[in-house]
Amino acid sequence: MVASAGIGAVLGFSIEPLPLIVFAILVAIYDLLAVKWTGHMVEFAKHFMKQKTAFSVGFEGVRRKRVMERGKPVVREEPWMIELGSGDMAIASAITVVSYKLGGFLFPLAAMAGSAIGLYLVMERAAKERAVMPAMPMIVSFSLILVAAALVFASVLKF
């Protein structure tokens, strides 16, 4: 996880904002296609989870679910697990770092908030649907939307 943040920081410091934004959007589109259309990213994730490699971070827990059994409500516990790929973290870090080049702390804060919102929404949806979800499209989208909103806010207020 630390390596992913470091890779993202190096990318963010090395590349100007516009090329990095284009790169992040293209990688988010690739992530969507690789998970939903071709499915090869899902196969990679399964392999990495079995091998316990450092290419992802896993979160495990127990979900309590109310079900009806013989006409009576019963609470069942089901295990759940969510994996977040290292690329998801690296791109979020890169967007945060490169947004500092836009002029101050407002933009990286907006990028971090967008990443957090996107990640939360992906995890919420993955937990509800119990399916593999591409995280990068939501993380990139919300990061860039909030950075754009911060740019508008800063230009209106001459911040």
pLDDT in tens, 86-131: 788 899 999 999 999 998 899 999 999 999 999 999 988 887 877 7
Span between the terminal Cα atoms of the chain, in Å: 34
Query: Does the residue 38 lie in any domain?
Result: yes
What confidence tier does 25 reach under pLDDT thresholds 50, 70, 90? very high
Number of domains in the chain: 1
In a domain, 89, yes or no: yes
For the chain, the average pLDDT equals 85
Establish if 132 belongs to a structural domain.
yes
Q: Is residue 70 part of a domain?
A: no
Range of the domain at 115: 2-55+83-157
Q: In this structure, what token pair is assigned to residue 43? A: 């196969």
Q: Dihedral through CA 9, CA 11, CA 15, CA 18, nearest 10? A: -90
Asked if residue 34 belongs to a domain, the reply is yes
- In-domain check, residue 100: yes
Q: Nearest Cα to 58, choosing from 77, 28, 86?
A: 86
Specify if 22 maps to a domain: yes
For residue 91, being part of any structural domain is answered with yes
Query: Which residues, listed in sequence order, are joined to residue 83 by a DSSP beta bridge?
Result: 58
Q: Which residue has 């791109």 as its token pair?
A: 91
Q: Residue 8 in contact with residue 91, Cβ under 8 Å?
A: yes
To the question of pTM greater than 0.85 for the whole model, the response is no
Cα Rg of the chain, angstroms: 18
